[in-house]
Structure 1
Amino acid sequence: MPTLPFTLRQLEVFASLAETRSFRVSADNLGISQASVSNQLKVLEEQLGTRLFDRKPGLRPLLTADGQAFHEDLRAFERAAAALASHRRSMADSKDQPLRFRLLVGQGMFDGYVRTKLDGFLAGHPRIELDFETVPPSSSILKTIESGRYDFAMFNLRADLPYPPQLRRLALLPGGIYGHRKFAKGLRLPLSPEQINLLPFVLPQAGSRPERELLQSIDRHGIRPRKVVGHSQYYDVMAAMLERGVAVASFSEAILPRAMRQDVIKLMPVEDWNLLLYSKPADSDPHQQAVEKFLIDSLLLDPDFPCLKTFVKAGK
């Protein structure tokens, strides 16, 4: 077995940089500092003996020819690693061997609906371990799924964005510009784009893909925020700003904690959201089927989960 001239963390940093072409955005997505991203890449290049990115002040980093080749090989490496990892589960027939699944779930869905029911599921399935990672809504999740690192992914994606056929559409969720009801005092709902543009906005991280996608989407409805009072990658921080009446935001209603919906209302409809599910292909694995059923039921059977339309039958 050859000694590999890199660590898995270095590969994760490289893959993020190749996707975002931004040290800052990659650092935010990975939860580390920009200096750490730069250092991980530097060490990786030194260990490989080649430059993977062209980096010039004021410009986004670009993959070199060697970097592009390494990126292609990394995709093959990730597919092979996922195939090797699948043997562990398929051979885990011992009653003492836990079955571990890795899941990627939207932040709001996990905190508001999945986490609250997790104890019951685990008590009923003692051999199953669930390893959750949470993310804000973004089309970048689609590329993350392609890496093969996750057994399941469940997240919201705006209905104007395409998604690949391996994802199941579970439901259509209401979306809009949400804010404290004080912003509509004395006005007729829905507010007009001109009225919305005058309100203070909180947006996703500045310069991030979620922010770019959101601004492009609401621009089609004539919404161009004139006053931005904050940026955050955390939905709960943004929701708290709405509850305090200091900002408005473009959201899926499902992200709003149920306790806030008395004071935080839809000021104007914009794009609705698709609720999507990815399940790694398996040959009728009853444990995987149980996890999938739990994910679907934890949302669609909850009377507080807002749906305009469902496309699957929950509870079956």
Structure 2
Amino acid sequence: MPSLPFTLRQLEVFAHLAASGSFRATADELGISQASVSNQIKTLEEQLGCRLFHRKPGQRPILTADGQAFHDDLTAFDSAASKLAAHRRSGTPEAGPARYRLLVGQGNFDNYVRPKLDGFLAGHPMIDLEFNTQPPTPGVAGMIQAGQYDFALINRRCDLPAEPHLEKLARVRGGVFGHRRLVEGQTLPLDPARVSELPFVLPPAGSKQERETLLSFADRGVHPGKVVGHTQYYDVMAAMLERGVAVASLTDAILPPSMRENVILILPLVDWDLEFYRKPGLTAPSADLTAAFLKSCVLDNSDYPALRIYSRNTDRQKSRLIEAE
């Protein structure tokens, strides 16, 4: 076999950077320094003999023509690797702990997965789960498809094109939420002009998330006139809503159940779908158990405010059979 001019770690760093367009976000997601990200990309470019990104001070890195071609081939490379992994016999005993990397939206993790995680890990000591619970970037679907995660449980706007590698589980409400005392005595939903007068907390200033949020607002005639804060953390947004100091664009699933009596929907926007990903080729019993656990955290939770359930937890029956063996 030919000697490959890259390492799997370099491919991982490249895929993250291509999806996020940010050295800082890539470093945070991978738990390494920005300097390490830069060095990994520089070394990869030297080994390949071509430039993968256009990089200018103060601007986001953009794929070159060679970089885009390499990214396309990386997707095919990951697909081929998954097919090779699928040759493993499903009945083959697992040697050593099974380690999986998971992407779970921050709200889903804090409200639904974390409360049950200790019981799952205690019951399955040979399964090691590594979570990325940062708020997903706009390129999250690409990051998942590139094979950076073994499992994912994320929310995506229901008006986005369907991704064949993602399974729809449920739909939840999306819109502008705020404390009921901010709208006391007013008829809901509020008029967009009235909503525009309220104090807003938005995603990080200048980020793609902020731009997409503002475009979503503009589609409904909302133009925030007073911004009292920016944050990437949904739990911080929720806390500001609970205190009544701001309103924000969220899904009701992001809000902890304890807040839902006072933090209410004041203007509907686009609803969101909860979607699930399992990396192709993961056929081990531990993968079945992990998939069933993730789905059950949400679909079997009476506090999950689903408007619609698309898919019941078919993995749960499989996991019960595994545990009975």
Partner of 2:187: 188
Kindly indicate whether the alpha-carbon contact (under 8 Å) linking 2:145 and 2:165 is maintained by their aligned counterparts in 1: no
Residue 191 of structure 1 aligns with an amino acid whose one-letter code is L
Partner of 2:72: 72
Query: What is the correspondence of 1:268-283 to structure 2 with a 5 Å cutoff?
Result: 268-282=267-281
Structure 1 residues 241, 89: CA separation in 2 closer, same or farther (over 3 Å shift)? Answer: farther
Q: CA deviation at 1:130?
A: 2.1
| Cα distance in 1, alignment partners of residues 35 and 225 from structure 2 | 33
Residue 250 of structure 1 aligns with an amino acid whose one-letter code is S
Kindly indicate whether the alpha-carbon contact (under 8 Å) linking 2:106 and 2:133 is maintained by their aligned counterparts in 1: yes
Partner of 1:302: 301
Task: Confirm whether residue 242 of structure 1 aligns to residue 241 of structure 2.
Answer: yes
Q: CA deviation at 1:178?
A: 0.7
| Cα distance in 1, alignment partners of residues 279 and 85 from structure 2 | 12
Residue 187 of structure 1 aligns with an amino acid whose one-letter code is Q
Structure 1 residues 14, 151: CA separation in 2 closer, same or farther (over 3 Å shift)? Answer: closer
TM-score using structure 2 length: 0.82
Partner of 2:321: none
3-state SS of paired residue (2:15): helix
| Cα distance in 2, alignment partners of residues 69 and 172 from structure 1 | 35
Partner of 1:224: 223
| Cα distance in 2, alignment partners of residues 166 and 243 from structure 1 | 36
Partner of 1:127: 126
Residue 299 of structure 1 aligns with an amino acid whose one-letter code is V
3-state SS of paired residue (1:298): helix
Structure 1 residues 223, 115: CA separation in 2 closer, same or farther (over 3 Å shift)? Answer: same
| Cα distance in 1, alignment partners of residues 37 and 286 from structure 2 | 37
| Cα distance in 1, alignment partners of residues 37 and 283 from structure 2 | 40
Partner of 1:156: 155
| Cα distance in 2, alignment partners of residues 24 and 101 from structure 1 | 24
TM-score using structure 1 length: 0.84
Structure 1 residues 250, 65: CA separation in 2 closer, same or farther (over 3 Å shift)? Answer: closer
Structure 1 residues 298, 192: CA separation in 2 closer, same or farther (over 3 Å shift)? Answer: same
Deviating more after overlay: 157-166 vs 57-66 = 57-66
3-state SS of paired residue (1:287): helix
CA deviation profile, 1:103-158 (whole Å, cap 9, x unmatched): 21111111111111112222333332222222324542211111123222111111
Q: CA deviation at 1:22?
A: 4.8
Q: CA deviation at 1:300?
A: 1.8
CA deviation profile, 1:179-206 (whole Å, cap 9, x unmatched): 1222112322221111111112111223
Q: CA deviation at 1:267?
A: 1.4
Query: What is the correspondence of 1:1-316 to structure 2 with a 5 Å cutoff?
Result: 8-23=8-23, 26=26, 37-56=37-56, 61-80=61-80, 82=82, 93=93, 97-282=96-281, 285-314=284-313
CA deviation profile, 1:150-173 (whole Å, cap 9, x unmatched): 222111111121221332211111
Identity of aligned residues (%): 59
| Cα distance in 2, alignment partners of residues 240 and 89 from structure 1 | 48
Q: CA deviation at 1:50?
A: 3.6
